[in-house]
Chain A
Amino acid sequence: MDRFRGLAVLALIIVVLPLALRNSYHYDVAIRIGMNATMVVGLNLLIGYAGQISLGHAGFFGLGAYASAILTSRYGWPPIAAMISGMAAVGVIAFVVARPILRLRGHYLAMATLGLGIIIYMVLVNESGWTGGNDGMNVKAFSIFGFSLANERAWYWVTGAVLLVAIVLARNIVDSPVGRALRAVHGSETAAQVAGIDTARYKVRVFVVSAVFASAVGSMMAHYVGFITPQVSSFFHSIELVTMVVVGGMASTYGAVLGAAILTMLPQLLSRFEGYEMIVFGLILMLTVIFLPRGLVPTIAARLRKSD
């Protein structure tokens, strides 16, 4: 039952946390943490476990957000149908671009994914007939079977539940032959190939899964905030997401959650440094890579194991 210990602790935190949430602003921060954590749990499969960098995942987040916005407000689709269609479309796009991109390594892979994110951003800005361009567009409230997610409390519970489901799915992947193949790609690509693992195929698969996670969260965030601009797919957002993975801990699902929590709260705490968040993020990323290259949770876990 070791598999469920972390999950039980997190579920408990989610259930108890509302006692400490005093106003809708607190709820808002908690919801954003939950959504970012869900996305980073997916991105961690790609970056932390399979060892493949992506500096363009905000692009997939943006595509999910705009798929929901456009399909619900212009075509009157039910939000859940729009969200699932967005996930499917992003999955197909990720699948098509993944093979050529993931043949690259290191710096070249970083550059290619960066380019991909920027292309998506430019499309969202320029197709203003659909997206409203830089002026952004409104998104209807999320509703399903007549129930509408109107207030923060409702969103809080939905976000918490979605996060727990995302963690179960991610942990299941990690603990399976597929997850071992992904970790082998990271550990020794040569060893993986010789053991019969089609490494190119596994890189594509994990890229698609992480992109679909991003799309789903993009859809949720669009409905929750009610208004989106192309900034949701900006380069800065991609960097934020990577920072969450690295700070929390590469190849640690709960590390991803912690990283998301820290880096979502940070701008709130640093609000007086308005305009300098980018610098603070950069600094945190640099300090983490220098002093805690494995990230918070794996480093702490290793310390605890040693002190036993």
Chain B
Amino acid sequence: MALLEVEALSRSFGGVHAVQDLSFEIEQGKIHSIIGPNGAGKTTVFNLITGLYRPSSGRVVFDGVEVTGYVPHELARRGMSRTFQNLQICFNMSAVENVMVGAHLRLDQGMLGSMLRIPTVARRDAECRDEARELMRFVGLDRYVGAAADSMPYGALKRLEIARALAARPKLLLLDEPAAGLNPTETHEIDALIQRIGDSGVTVVLVEHDMKLVMGISARILVLDYGRKLAEGSAQEVRGNPEVIAAYLGGSVEAGST
């Protein structure tokens, strides 16, 4: 069953077609990847799905409900969560608090209750803090549990974003270049982490340039070029597609598969 359906989605910026007539489906419980050369429109697709951009035309259906034009917080309420290629970390907070922000929708949000610190609010908040610590350990940030966000290195912040996204307990998790800027060891750890997230039942879509990571982990791969779909299928199918090789992958497939 498809958790996310994208139909004839288009978005142009001042006459430039960033995404054009794009349709695809994301199946429940699998790991998907979107790949393509720089400027192919991958991040734009993420921004359209998560409501940061409004589509010029087309439809997005999430979990059986049409959500085209929904704003991000409404989509979060329906179970969508994401990370960012250019980190979106709140550097005015501790690492744990950043993760707790992700759990916002599951907590009491009353102003009066917060102001008077009624016991139920305080208790739920303390539980949430414990869960956030647990999530930090899950993504491999054990040593940063007590840290301030602005004291953490780049690679750790990438994981912190994943922990924050998971704190929402999403149905669909979109990861925008989780391995960008990481060294091979860190990339290997991220690979294992994404696998664990997938195994826990969360549907994952990632945009990624690291072909070894993509080919190894993805059940399905969507290839974009100039905002259009170039190919779609399993790693095997995409790898063997002559158009994909000609347009983009070239020798790097050989390098990745050996």
Give the residues from 91 to 143 in chain B that come closer than 8 angstroms, CB to CB, to chain A. 91-93, 97, 100-102, 104-105, 107-111, 113-117, 121, 125, 128
Residue pair A173, B111 in contact (C-beta under 8 Å): yes
User: A16-24, A25-33, A143-151, A182-190: which lies at the B interface?
Assistant: A182-190
Q: Does B72 contact A (CB under 8 A)?
A: yes
Q: Does B224 contact A (CB under 8 A)?
A: no
Residue pair A195, B76 in contact (C-beta under 8 Å): yes
Q: Does A172 contact B (CB under 8 A)?
A: yes
- A179, A191, A196, A205: the one contacting B90 at CB < 8 Å is A191
A173–B108 alpha-carbon span in the complex (Å): 12
Residue pair A205, B114 in contact (C-beta under 8 Å): no
Q: Does A194 contact B (CB under 8 A)?
A: yes
A20–B242 alpha-carbon span in the complex (Å): 87
Query: What residues of chain B lie closer than 8 Å to A192, measured between beta carbons?
Result: 90, 101
CB contact under 8 A between A187 and B76, given known A172-B114, A176-B121: no
User: B3-11, B15-23, B61-69, B80-88: which lies at the A interface?
Assistant: B80-88
A201–B220 alpha-carbon span in the complex (Å): 39
Residue pair A180, B93 in contact (C-beta under 8 Å): yes
Residue pair A190, B84 in contact (C-beta under 8 Å): yes
**B97 nearest CB neighbor, chain A only:** A180
Query: What residues of chain A lie closer than 8 Å to B245, measured between beta carbons?
Result: none
The A interface, classified by DSSP as helix, strand, loop or mixed, is helix
Residue pair A205, B71 in contact (C-beta under 8 Å): no
Q: How far is the CB of B158 from chain A (nearest CB, A)?
A: 13
Q: How far is the CB of B223 from chain A (nearest CB, A)?
A: 26
Residue pair A184, B93 in contact (C-beta under 8 Å): yes
Q: How far is the CB of B5 from chain A (nearest CB, A)?
A: 21
CB contact under 8 A between A194 and B109, given known A173-B114, A176-B121, A177-B114: no
A209–B93 alpha-carbon span in the complex (Å): 22
A187–B90 alpha-carbon span in the complex (Å): 4
Q: Does A193 contact B (CB under 8 A)?
A: yes
Q: Does A72 contact B (CB under 8 A)?
A: no
Q: Does A131 contact B (CB under 8 A)?
A: no
Q: How far is the CB of B178 from chain A (nearest CB, A)?
A: 15
Residue pair B90, A184 in contact (C-beta under 8 Å): yes
- Per CB-CB distance, the 7 closest pairs between chain A and chain B, nearest first, are A187-B90, A196-B76, A176-B114, A191-B88, A193-B72, A177-B107, A196-B105
Q: Can you list 16 A-B pairs, Cβ within 8 angstroms, ordered by A? A: A169-B116, A172-B114, A176-B114, A176-B121, A176-B125, A177-B114, A178-B109, A180-B100, A188-B88, A191-B164, A194-B73, A194-B88, A195-B73, A195-B76, A195-B168, A197-B101
